[in-house]
Amino acid sequence: MTALLEVRDLVKTFGMGEAATRVLHGLTLTMEAGELAALLGPSGSGKSTLLTILGTLMHPTSGSHTMLGLDLTTASDSALTEFRNLHIGFVFQFHNLLPDFTALENVCFPTAVREGRETTAARTRGQELLVRMGLADRVHFPTANLSGGQKQRVAVARALMNRPELVLADEPTGNLDRASASQVMDLIAEINHDEGTTFLISTHDEKIAALCRRQIVVGDGIVTG
């Protein structure tokens, strides 16, 4: 089985001169398709930075980044935008949803932005995903009226909308109570099992990490475990 993604000798330095902070010190990581992996490490260890680079939202200072056999290290902004849209889903900790749109509209966004409009097919799939996330009665809710746990489940549904190979989740449960957190994690595990979607979930919650089949530990800007 070939690797879904591979990063080699990733270095990321923020700022220049004396203010320069080196966050990643030559990090190397390979993930296979279908993995359910937790990204662990103390706060400030570079988890978010790594996820951002893997999500093609940021270029590394040096090192290589390939996914699905494509070299993404030097790809153009528009090429990366399209790649992201088709192959990567995101779940963030805060500011996840578009506040002026309904749950369904948020879920449909990745497809609609590519197709130029919200098609019936997209709406049907969006609705199915929301039902799957246990939000059948919240489909047309403005996202501002949803609870934290519901918001994160909408975000998971949206991340899955375009059937991406990889979903990157940056502390998706960091803001949730234990019950909501495990509900979200259960759904992620279920999707991973049923669809084979690869998940990389950053967290510093050991219980959450325990639900994942692989644990990747980051420390001093490299993978330590």
Contact set with ligand ADP (CB under 6 A): 14-15, 21, 23, 41, 43-49
14 binds, among Mg ion, ligand ADP, other proteins, none (CB under 5 to 8 A by kind): ligand ADP
Residue 109 is a binding residue for other proteins (CB under 8 A): yes
> Cβ of residue 61: shortest distance to ligand ADP, in angstroms?
12
Strands across the sheet containing 21-32: 21-32, 3-14, 62-67, 70-71
> Cβ of residue 25: shortest distance to ligand ADP, in angstroms?
12
> Cβ of residue 14: shortest distance to ligand ADP, in angstroms?
3
**From 31-39, 67-75, 112-120, 181-189, span contacting other proteins (CB under 8 A):** 112-120
User: What percentage of the chain's residues is helix, strand, coil (to nearest 5)?
Assistant: 40, 25, 35
List CB contacts of 62: < 8 A, sequence separation 6 or more: 9, 10, 11
List CB contacts of 146: < 8 A, sequence separation 6 or more: 103, 138, 154
Q: Scanning the structure block, which residue is given the tokens 């998940």?
A: 199
**Residue nearer to Mg ion on the CB measure, 10 or 130:** 10
Question: By beta-carbon distance, which residue lies closest to Mg ion?
Answer: 48
Q: What is the DSSP string of 63-91?
A: EEEEETTEE-TT--HHHHHHHHHHHEEEE
Q: How many CA atoms lie within 13 A of 221 on its CB side?
A: 14
Residue 90 is a binding residue for other proteins (CB under 8 A): yes
**Residue nearer to other proteins on the CB measure, 81 or 182:** 81
Q: What is the DSSP string of 178-201?
A: HHHHHHHHHHHHHHHHHH--EEEE
**Count, residues near other proteins per rule CB under 8 A:** 35
Pattern 27-66, binding to Mg ion, x per CB under 5 A? ---------------------x------------------
Cite the DSSP H helix spans in 6-160: 47-54, 77-87, 103-115, 120-132, 148-160
**From 31-39, 114-122, 125-133, 146-154, span contacting other proteins (CB under 8 A):** 114-122
Q: Restricting to residues 183-212, which ones interact with other proteins according to CB under 8 A?
A: none
> Cβ of residue 125: shortest distance to ligand ADP, in angstroms?
31
